């Protein structure tokens, strides 16, 4: 309908007494308020992004300051510049929560405090003569930070506390498992891959658990990171000739297809996109591993090319029919 027809319809309804002036003005006011609210939401999102970017830049500045002046600073200054900054930012966030118009900027202060805290604890432990390269030290630091963020989240249900609880909880999982076998962080890469596999699966399950809660906005991020961690670990476990692992090479296509089909059930683009991409990576890996000599390389590339086109169409079809 064009504008003239709509106005004539409105005029007819008014003449018949089915539409009043108050109802017309109410519709007009609601449309204006909706537009204003959308504009405010966009401005709020931009402000939030700038808050976090600013926090990241401050963190970078602290790291550069400490790194370039390490030999010139005394022990107390090092602790104040790192751990002291973290405590000060956290306390500033607590103070700002008293003012409703500054609610959003509080998250930036908490974000900065959480970023600087690990550096501050590492510096403090190093000055105290503790070996900060051991799995035991990493476990203690991760546990301290996890407890702080969990307690903070229990008091004030902010997403920033929840996100850092997940991050520090994952760190605790990695460091504690290494500590239990008596190694150092990243000392056994095969073990690292299996732990990433478990971590990825855990993040996907956590995302699924949050999808019907007030934290459902974090679900897609947990899905994305979880799928990448899980499939990267599974692909790396397959290895490469002559040290390939046949078991993981055989089951990897099944894992990727499982992720792709789960995208339909969960209506998740992260599952669909990353499942498709990793299936493509796998095809290139297998081609480069077993079909690089003679005519096999050329023919295998042709087959892979057609397979990729088929996978691309299949992903497009699933996205259009079940997810969009």
Contact yes or no for 97/156 (Cβ under 8 A) = yes
Our measurement of the distance from residue 69's CA atom to the centroid of its chain's CA atoms, rounded to an integer in Å, reads 33
Helical spans, DSSP H, in the chain: 3-15, 21-68, 75-79, 85-96, 103-127, 135-155, 159-180, 189-210, 219-237, 246-266, 269-290, 295-318
C-alpha closest to that of 279 among 247, 252, 250: 252
CB 282 within 8 A of CB 252: yes
pTM: 0.76
How many angstroms separate the CA atoms of 202 and 190, rounded?
Answer: 19
The 3-state DSSP class for residue 314 equals helix
Helix/strand/coil for 157: coil
Report pLDDT for 36.
44
Measured CA to CA, the distance from residue 284 to residue 278 in angstroms comes to 10
**Nearest residue to 87 (alpha-carbon basis) of 112, 68, 59, 64:** 112
What six digits make up the tokens of 209?
Answer: 């658990």
Residue 319 three-state SS: helix
Tell me the C-alpha distance between 36 and 48, whole Å. Answer: 18
The pLDDT of residue 152: 92
Measured CA to CA, the distance from residue 204 to residue 170 in angstroms comes to 13
Low-confidence ranges of the chain (pLDDT < 70): 1-11, 13-48, 51, 183-188, 290-302, 304, 308, 313-314, 316-317, 319, 322-324
């Amino acid at each position: 309908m064009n504008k003239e027809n709509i106005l004539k319809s409105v005029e007819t309804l008014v003449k018949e007494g089915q539409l009043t002036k108050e109802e017309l003005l109410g519709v007009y006011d609601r449309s204006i308020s909706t537009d204003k609210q959308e504009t405010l939401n966009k401005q709020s999102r931009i402000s939030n992004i700038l808050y976090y970017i600013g926090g990241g830049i401050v963190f970078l500045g602290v790291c550069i300051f400490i790194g370039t002046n390490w030999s010139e600073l005394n022990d107390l200054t090092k602790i104040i510049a790192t751990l002291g900054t973290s405590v000060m930012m956290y306390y500033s966030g607590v103070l700002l929560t008293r003012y409703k118009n500054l609610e959003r900027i509080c998250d930036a202060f908490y974000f900065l405090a959480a970023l600087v805290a690990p550096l501050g604890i590492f510096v403090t432990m190093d000055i105290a003569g503790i070996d900060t390269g051991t799995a035991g030290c990493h476990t203690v630091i991760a546990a301290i930070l996890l407890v702080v963020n969990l307690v903070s989240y229990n008091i004030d249900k902010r997403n920033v506390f929840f996100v850092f609880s997940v991050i520090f909880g994952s760190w605790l999982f990695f460091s504690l498992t290494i500590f239990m076998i008596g190694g150092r962080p990243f000392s056994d890469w095969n073990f690292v891959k299996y732990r990433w596999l478990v971590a990825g699966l855990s993040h996907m399950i956590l995302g699924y658990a949050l999808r019907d809660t007030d934290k459902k906005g974090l679900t897609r991020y947990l899905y994305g990171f979880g799928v990448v961690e899980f499939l990267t670990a599974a692909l790396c476990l397959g290895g490469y000739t002559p040290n390939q692992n046949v078991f993981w090479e055989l089951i990897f296509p099944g894992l990727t297809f499982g992720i792709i089909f789960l995208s339909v059930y969960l209506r998740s683009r992260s599952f669909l996109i990353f499942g498709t991409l990793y299936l493509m990576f796998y095809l290139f890996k297998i081609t480069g591993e077993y079909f690089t000599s003679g005519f096999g390389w050329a023919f295998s590339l042709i087959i892979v090319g057609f397979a990729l086109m088929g996978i691309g169409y299949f992903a497009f079809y699933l996205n259009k029919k079940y997810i969009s």
